Structure 1
Amino acid sequence: MTLEELKSGTFVVGMKETERAIEKQEAACVFIASDCDERISRPLMEACQSSGIPVEQGFTKKEIGRACGIKVKAASAALLTSRYYLSGLCPGGSIINFLLKKGGAHFADN
């Protein structure tokens, strides 16, 4: 996963919002800054691991913040699963959204 995909997708930024997206099963991929303190990043890594969410750690706080369009550094961000539906990458998105909800998966409400 790249910063371009984060930038062009639907995302949340910051530790609390990222944690919330993981808990709600809305995160498709989580970006954790490589220069983030381990005591902060470890709980997030563990939550991703237990939820089966891929983690990207190849970017700094400054790079993640810039990709999210904010003027401050960001320790984490989560690319949301709803990006496929909202960006039109899935033809017939409303049908796919309905089927995924029926199957137990959850898309962020739009």
Structure 2
Amino acid sequence: MIPFTIFLALIVIVCFLLILVIMVQNPKSGGLSSAFGGGGQMGGVQKTTDFLEKSTWYLGGALILLILLSTLSTSNGNGGSKIVDDAVSKPAPVPTTSAPASPTAKPTADSAK
């Protein structure tokens, strides 16, 4: 399978592109596209908005797909994660609570009876 580092690089690239596409979109009150796009609405603005919206959906879907594929590439053959398998195979250490009594301890009223 493809190594995890390649998936990680692709995820970072898709996230960067997704941030750029979202920042360029024109919300109701303006946005970066209104600052760079000039003053008036031209004929190609609607097609640009459709392209940006579709690219947002495609990049979001690609991001989810890459995350799922990277998860599959890191799991071993039995479907579990190596970290989880190591944690399950090692028993947790049991703390010892029986400490020896200190020699300078004074007897209590209950022990005197």
* TM-score of the pair, normalised by structure 2: 0.21
Q: Which has the higher contact order (CA 8 A, sep 6+)?
A: 1
Structure with the larger strand share: 1
* TM-score of the pair, normalised by structure 1: 0.22
Structure number with bigger Rg: 2
Structure with the larger helix share: 2
